[in-house]
Amino acid sequence: MVIKSSPSRKVFVFINAAFFVIICLVSLLPFIHVLALSFSSKAAAAKGVVLLWPVEFTHTSYGFVLQKPEFLSAIWISFKRVFLGLIVNMLMTIITAYPLSKSTSSFRFRTVYVWFFVFTMLFGGGLIPFYMIVKSMGLLDSVWALVLPGALPIFNAIILMNYFRGLPKELEESAFIDGAGHWRILWLIFIPISIPVLATLVLFTVVGHWNSWFDGMIFMTKTKNYPLQTYMQTLVIQPNSMILTQAAAKRFRFISERTVKSAQIFIGAIPVLMLYPFLQRYFITGLVLGSVKE
């Protein structure tokens, strides 16, 4: 059976498509401009003639950036943060979501714990007590100061909890009959069939750690320990902050601070851009399936 589209339906589809095309352009054009600026010459950047295509194409800015030890150190710290944070966050999320997904008859105080975690999402103790706790634990100037304070992302745990609650109860009951315990059920049954939502949470976690800059600014007393986004933020708020060696100063004749910052911004975005295509097909499915229950 073929359903004919009415004129009003065609108008709706056209307006809807045009709207989302505009949204995509608004999102992409600034990024394309930064990319074009990073490949443009110093003179073109100074004149402000670079729009969406490089003017007087050159990759000197990338060569300069990739030889900056502080930039490479910041990237390395960010990679360590993402690696450790992903492991800690996903492990804590999984082992928290599983028991909270049980019924009240199986876990008597489940509702109390759920509301306790929700309360922590809505209210905090303040920045100063937060800083004092991290300092008293000796975590300052350590990558663990960027990982452990947010070890359990409550929003992610609630999404995974709701996904687990939507799984057929017969799976768990059959496993119990066969002699499996909760630990085996979690890792051998629940986790393999939860790939969509887990992939979504991995994306949330990686992007969250990679883009975070404020905690690096307050927990790191030395700039050499800054993660990438904190280092980038200092470049934005402190113009002309680049310290140049004699060799770098010679190369700086052919580039400008704007082209160098643009190159650093683009390089900093590459890891997330590379990760997203692999997880995109799970993104909407996992998010919807993890949000249908309370």
Q: What is the pLDDT of residues 229-238, one digit of tens each?
A: 998 888 767 6
Max alpha carbon distance in the chain (Å)? 75
Segment 80-92 shows an average pLDDT of: 96
Q: What is the pLDDT of residues 55-75, one digit of tens each?
A: 888 888 888 888 888 888 999
Please tell me the predicted confidence (pLDDT) of residue 123. Answer: 86
Q: Is the pLDDT of residue 239 over 60?
A: no
Q: Is the pLDDT of residue 278 over 80?
A: no
Q: Is the pLDDT of residue 138 over 80?
A: yes
> Which residues lie below 8 Å from residue 72, measured CB to CB, with a gap of 6+?
66
pLDDT band at 246 (very low <50, low <70, confident <90, very high): low
DSSP element (H, E) containing 212? none
Q: Is the pLDDT of residue 170 over 60?
A: yes
Express as a percent the part of the chain with pLDDT over 70.
87
Long-range contacts of 128-135 (CB under 8 A, 24+ apart): 131/218, 131/219, 134/219
Q: What is the pLDDT of residues 171-218, one digit of tens each?
A: 888 888 888 888 999 998 999 988 888 988 998 899 999 999 899 999
In DSSP notation, 141-162 reads: TSGGGGTGGGSS-HHHHHHHHH
Segment 103-128 shows an average pLDDT of: 88
- The CATH code that applies to domain 68-289 is 1.10.3720.10
Please tell me the predicted confidence (pLDDT) of residue 1. Answer: 46
Domain ranges within the chain, ordered by starting residue:
25-58, 68-289
Between 288 and 181, the more confident residue is 181
pLDDT band at 3 (very low <50, low <70, confident <90, very high): low
Structure tokens given for 92: 């804590």
Please tell me the predicted confidence (pLDDT) of residue 178. Answer: 84
Q: Is the pLDDT of residue 292 over 60?
A: no
In DSSP notation, 82-136 reads: HHHHHHHHHHHHHHHHHHHTS-TTTSTTHHHHHHHHHHHHH----HHHHHHHHHH
Q: Is the pLDDT of residue 91 over 80?
A: yes
Q: Is the pLDDT of residue 293 over 60?
A: no
Structure tokens given for 148: 């452990």
Would you say 186 and 164 are in contact if contact means Cβ atoms under 8 Å apart? no
